[in-house]
Amino acid sequence: MPDADTEYGPMKQRLQKILSHAGVSSRRAAEALILEGRVTVDGDVIKELGSSADPKVQDIRVDGSRVKARPTRRYIALNKPPGYVTTRSDPGRRKTVMELLPMSLQRVFPVGRLDMASSGLLVLTDDGEFAQRLTHPKYQVEKTYLVTILGTPLPAVMTRASRGIIVDGERLVIDRARILTTRVSREAAKPRTRIRVTLRQGRNREIRRLFRALGHPVIELHREQIGMLSVRGIAPGAFRPLSPEEIAALQGDVSPRRPRRTRVK
């Protein structure tokens, strides 16, 4: 677990990004300002677009006016165990994911939700714009889950899941699914099947509702990945800060690697 006093935001950033985040201009307009020689760092005129600076400690100016640094933001990846609700506080006094974080990180908030019985990757931040990018349907951020269901689904069932069904007036659908294993035990009345499921636009408890409606209730649900960010290497109940590269990829500043497409089997 990282030191609670660690700064979780990026340090040196490209000048055009600093100017854009400070509200000076768009990134494209900021590039023009740099090329025109209107930007200085510690008194030196900067004309190269690849130049970086640290807005917290360096004097950055545009046309002589000081550019104020954007407040430090926190970006956390948490491996949520079952039994915790994904909220900052709970009227029913159930355990919340905030109890897994130190006091110095109590200003962050969960991005999206994992229900109480589910586990896996959860992102927390105090950056509302970043949270919007991860959750708004128009950004189509992929989320991958390891799901264990009761029974052995026939190919026709998996086809219906990938095409979508209507449940309680909502269309529930998965983007991709691949059956991994089917386990039979003498103790269980029915076999259990493990599936890797990918969603781009998740509704409330969509996977659980979908498979229950198809006759295969979900026994376990674990979120493995959000975009290019993986829960691998984070112990249950532990957390770590996102790296500047991970933050940039999730914001769309660079192209995240997409998992190879697989057909429903």
What is the identity of the amino acid at 156? A
**Which residue among 54, 90, 115, 253 is the active-site one?**
115
The widest CA-to-CA distance across the chain, in whole angstroms, is 77
Q: Are 22 and 14 in contact (CB under 8 A)?
A: no
- Is 115 part of the annotated catalytic residue set? yes
Residue 212: CA count within 13 A, CB half-sphere: 10
The Cα 178–Cα 194 span in angstroms is 9
- In our burial notation (b when 16+ CB lie closer than 10 A, e otherwise), range 75-114 reads bbbbbbbeebbbeeeeeeeeebbbebbeeebeebbbbebb
Q: Are 104 and 89 in contact (CB under 8 A)?
A: no
Question: Tokens for 222?
Answer: 């674990």
What is the identity of the amino acid at 257? R
The Cα 140–Cα 158 span in angstroms is 22
Work out the angle at residue 209's Cα, subtended by the Cα atoms of residues 119 and 89, and round it to the nearest 5 degrees. 45
Q: What is the DSSP letter of 96?
A: B
Q: Shortest CA distance to 214 belongs to which of 141, 156, 259, 146? A: 156
Q: Are strands 170-172 and 75-80 parallel, antiparallel or unpaired?
A: unpaired
Question: Tokens for 253?
Answer: 């500043």
Residues annotated as catalytic are 115
